[in-house]
Amino acid sequence: MDKFLIKGGVPLKGKIEVSGAKNSALPCLAAALLTDETVILHNVPYVKDLITQRRLLEDLGATVLTPELRTHKISATSIVTFEASYELVKTMRASVLALGPLLGRFGQAKVSMPGGCAIGTRPIDLHLKAFEQLGAVIELESGDVVARAPKGRLVGAEIGFEKVTVTGTENVMMAAALATGKTTIRNAAREPEIEDLAELMNRMGARIRGAGTETIEIDGVEGMNGAEHTIIPDRIETGTFIAAAAITGGEIEITRCNPSHLRAVIAQLGTAGVEIAELNQSTLAVRRSASGLKAADVTTEPHPHFPTDMQAQYMALMTQAEGDSLIRETIFENRFMHASELTRMGANISIHGNEATVHGPTKLSGARVLASDLRASASLVLAALCATGETLIDRVYHIDRGYEMIVRKLRSIGADIERIADSSSANAEAGQGV
């Protein structure tokens, strides 16, 4: 498996560009299944998860052309199967996003039930319950979810999510778009990716109102058409780069981002001593304040609050802050795997249930560490960038899932990082040249 070798201690300087949002591109590709016309998506990030999603669509019978690396032309004209295989779902949970559009358009879908993952059990019970409220019959057969609309078409309904779920909201939006009648989703997720999906779907002829708020209303339509859409920038990649500048004491400009999508992150990092200036609607200038990093408590919550996908990176940053910071993780029950690896580098972190206290600052020194999931691997890269000596990060296939050309991008602002490719692993990165 590929590894990263990082020599720390270099203040990052220069301009770094943000790619399209993985967590918007995934549902937007799935939404193309809702029509037999062509959907063109621009700014699709070239990361492993999108390559998997593309394969999923092709396995179903869609054609996906890429006239340019980040442009996908998807035609779901002749869907030959309604089944998303275990092979694919086990590598990427987001494959469950095929359920909604297949059920909505064809009245049937079969998707392997996703198992747990490093950060939590992550059930999809709320997705399935909502589909049942839309009139679907759901059965579990040898590990597969088999869903069908007995009347051939779903029927609009009132859906109140007990818990805010991002892909649950997206799946129901896609299923309800072609249902008869009106669907109302209450306690819906409000992430910018939900708004982006709704914008694409409305361009495809859907009738969705209220995306981005707690209540989404969908008037079912008879059919949907092709459309062209540009995926929003990745707000978590943006947040990760802000932390990279701050933890190395560097000064960078982050371009092609959207500051309005990460207000809570910008506010929290500001409290912790990071100076973040909005140069314009798509550019941030970032540096550590002269008085240094200060400990600041944080709680992860659904949007518009501080995102769980920035928690690990924030923990790495707090190892360099003056004082004790309490980090409360309320979304996933097992999302502190990175803490023990950071401790191996010299961090001082104590964990009690879903609360971690970081005692800072401590000097970090290079070590061999193991990435356990996508955001944990980002936090280890950040720690390595400020540690003395060399760090070797193993299992970086996790980071390739959601960060496009991370080695090339960080090197472009001065980071001393290299990928030690495992000769046997033919991975997307190899295609990216670094």
Which residues are catalytically annotated?
117
Paired sense of beta strands 216-219 and 182-186, if any:
antiparallel
Q: In what order do the strands lie in the sheet with 216-219?
A: 158-160, 182-186, 216-219, 207-209
Cβ of residue 152: shortest distance to ligand EPZ, in angstroms? 25
Among 61, 120, 346, 389, binds ligand EPZ (CB under 6 A): 120
Count of residues of this chain found to bind ligand EPZ when the rule CB under 6 A is applied = 24
Cis peptide bond prior to 304, omega within 30° of 0: yes
Q: What is the DSSP letter of 414?
A: T
List binders of ligand EPZ among 195-214 (CB under 6 A). Answer: none
**CA nearest to 130, candidates 151, 157, 110:** 157
Work out whether 122 is an interface residue with ligand EPZ (CB under 6 A).
yes
Structure tokens at 256: 């092609």
CA distance 351 to 362: 17
Work out whether 402 is an interface residue with ligand EPZ (CB under 6 A).
yes
Task: Give the burial string for 32-56 (b: 16+ CB within 10 Å, else e).
Answer: bbbbbbbbbbebbbbbbbbbbbbbb
Residues making up the chain, counted from first to last: 434
Among 19, 165, 183, 311, binds ligand EPZ (CB under 6 A): 165
Cβ of residue 268: shortest distance to ligand EPZ, in angstroms? 16
CA distance 113 to 49: 18
Element (H, E) at 84: strand 83-84
Among 287, 288, 375, 409, binds ligand EPZ (CB under 6 A): 375
Work out whether 127 is an interface residue with ligand EPZ (CB under 6 A).
yes
- Cβ nearer to ligand EPZ, comparing 115 with 181: 115
Cβ of residue 303: shortest distance to ligand EPZ, in angstroms? 7
- How is 145-174 classified by DSSP, letter by letter? EEEE-TTSS-B--EEE-SS--HHHHHHHHH
Structure tokens at 129: 């319950």
- Cβ nearer to ligand EPZ, comparing 14 with 116: 116
Cβ of residue 367: shortest distance to ligand EPZ, in angstroms? 24
Q: Are 110 and 98 in contact (CB under 8 A)?
A: no
- Cβ nearer to ligand EPZ, comparing 124 with 393: 124
Q: Are 47 and 237 in contact (CB under 8 A)?
A: no
Cβ of residue 402: shortest distance to ligand EPZ, in angstroms? 5
List binders of ligand EPZ among 293-322 (CB under 6 A). Answer: 307-309
Work out whether 248 is an interface residue with ligand EPZ (CB under 6 A).
no
Work out whether 332 is an interface residue with ligand EPZ (CB under 6 A).
yes
Among 47, 370, 374, 396, binds ligand EPZ (CB under 6 A): 374
Task: Considering only the stretches 40-48, 119-127, 207-215, 276-284, report the one whose residues sit in contact with ligand EPZ under the rule CB under 6 A.
Answer: 119-127
Work out whether 94 is an interface residue with ligand EPZ (CB under 6 A).
yes
Which residues of this chain interact with ligand EPZ, rule CB under 6 A?
23, 26, 94, 120, 122-127, 163, 165-168, 189, 307-309, 331-332, 374-375, 402
